[in-house]
């Protein structure tokens, strides 16, 4: 059974460009969350989607947006890239939106470098 898959694994973008990151959750999981992990820091929450609706948003600017598709896969979009957006972007999937009674499984992340 496939785990959480993220694509691409690495990419390099120029300041001001836009980027789209993709995440496929574990089969049967209806919730997808996105985290940003800057080098040397712990992951920071960006968004959670459950049943295709936004259920939570972290303290990130409006340049960050996301959506979840009918098949529960998700995309994270970042516009007008800044050097500070360089980070590992992690996707996590879970059966339900609340994380108390369900385990979250993480993908291997997308390493974004902005030059």
Partner 1 sequence: AQTVTQSQPEMSVQEAETVTLSCTYDTSENNYYLFWYKQPPSRQMILVIRQEAYKQQNATENRFSVNFQKAAKSFSLKISDSQLGDTAMYFCAFISWTGNQFYFGTGTSLTVIP
- Count CB-CB contacts under 10 A for residue 83: 9
Query: What is the token pair recorded at 91?
Result: 């996707």
Minimum distance of partner 1 from residue 35's CB (angstroms): 8
Q: Which is nearer to partner 1, 34 or 78 (CB)?
A: 34
- Count CB-CB contacts under 10 A for residue 35: 21
Instruction: Enumerate binding residues for partner 1 (CB under 8 A).
Output: 3, 31, 33, 35, 40-45, 48, 50, 55-56, 58, 88, 90, 92, 97-100, 103-104, 106-109, 111
Query: What is the token pair recorded at 106?
Result: 């993480």
Give yes or no for a contact between 80 and 16, defined as CB atoms under 8 angstroms apart.
yes
Minimum distance of partner 1 from residue 62's CB (angstroms): 19
Minimum distance of partner 1 from residue 79's CB (angstroms): 23
Q: Which is nearer to partner 1, 50 or 72 (CB)?
A: 50
Minimum distance of partner 1 from residue 17's CB (angstroms): 23
Give yes or no for a contact between 6 and 108, defined as CB atoms under 8 angstroms apart.
yes
């Amino acid at each position: 059974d496939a785990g959480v898959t993220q694509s691409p694994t690495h990419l390099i973008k120029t300041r001001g460009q836009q980027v789209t990151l993709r995440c496929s959750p574990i089969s049967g999981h209806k919730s997808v969350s996105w985290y940003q992990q800057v080098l040397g820091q712990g992951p920071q929450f960006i968004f959670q989607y459950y049943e295709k609706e936004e259920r939570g948003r972290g303290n990130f600017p409006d340049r960050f947006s996301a959506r979840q598709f009918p098949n529960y896969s998700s995309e994270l979009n970042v516009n007008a890239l800044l050097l500070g957006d360089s980070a590992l972007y992690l996707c996590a999937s879970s059966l339900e939106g609340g994380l108390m009674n369900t385990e979250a499984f993480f993908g291997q992340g997308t390493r974004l470098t902005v030059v």
